[in-house]
Chain A
Amino acid sequence: MSMLELKYIVPGDDFTRAGEASGDVKHKLKKIGYNPDAIRRVSIAMYEGEINMVIHAGGGEAEVNIDPDRVEILLIDHGPGIADVEKAMQAGFSTAPDNVRSLGFGAGMGLPNMKKYSDEMYIETEVGKGSTVRMIVYAQR
């Protein structure tokens, strides 16, 4: 059991609501006086993962487990999966459609940001089944 366990549904078709889960986590971490640098890293990494579920996977679920020394973020979707994870991780690689690009997405920087801002990141994915991204951010880097 973690000190604080949070669960969110991330709706798939709603760009305007994307970011609500990570925003809420940021708010809660602030409230309990978590290390500001860790809060920033958690929020950015989680927002990128959240928005990826909205854009690429038709939504999903987010689970966040907060402990004094670390925050664990789980992002679970049942979207198309990622065929080539190594390629997807490359800065600049994106399959985002034009309508999404016009909103400012599609730089192909989301996964690299998640890697950069988390301390540990694991992707489990199967084409046609979905993806689970697990990230850990330590309170002290």
Chain B
Amino acid sequence: MKISELAEKCGFIALNFAEDRDVEGCYIGDLLSWVMGRAKENNVWLTVMGNVNAIAVAVLADVSAIVLTENSALDSEALERAKQRGVNIYSTEDNTYETAKKIIAAIE
């Protein structure tokens, strides 16, 4: 499935859309080096961390998008960096559990 299709099905709001990437599975976590070590390429990453370092992790782990749950803030520097680096970022008001449930329903 493409990230745009998943976003539509789950009602995510695009904060930065760079490229319509494939989604294969999901990873959840806020501790950056934990995520970096375990998230897989093309995972959609659910987190509350909307800072520049999260963008760096998204680039290096090569996730298909960051989804900021519970309307967590994306700081302006992070948005700028996401634009430069071509990182897809979405926002949702749902908590991470609800978001994961929606993703499972959409993907399966």
Chain B CB within 8 A of A107 CB? yes
Chain A interface size, under 10 / 10 to 19 / 20 to 34 / 35 or more: 20 to 34
Q: Is the CB of A104 within 8 A of B56?
A: no
| A18 to B56 alpha-carbon distance, docked (Å) | 8
Q: Judge whether A110 and B62 touch: CB under 8 Å.
A: no
A112 to B61, CA, bound (A): 16
- Which of A15, A40, A43, A110 meets B53, CB within 8 Å? A15
Q: Separation in Å of the A127 CB from the closest CB of chain B?
A: 24
Where chain A touches its partner, the secondary structure class is: helix
Q: A15-B53, A103-B51 are in contact. Are A22 and B60 (CB under 8 A)?
A: yes
Indicate if the CB atoms of B30 and A48 lie closer than 8 Å.
no
| CB atoms of A109 and B52 under 8 A apart | no
Question: Is B60 in contact with A107, judged by CB distance below 8 angstroms?
Answer: no
- In the assembled complex, 10 residue pairs joining A and B whose CB atoms fall closer than 8 Å, in A order, are A16-B77, A19-B56, A22-B60, A40-B41, A103-B53, A104-B30, A106-B31, A107-B32, A107-B34, A109-B36
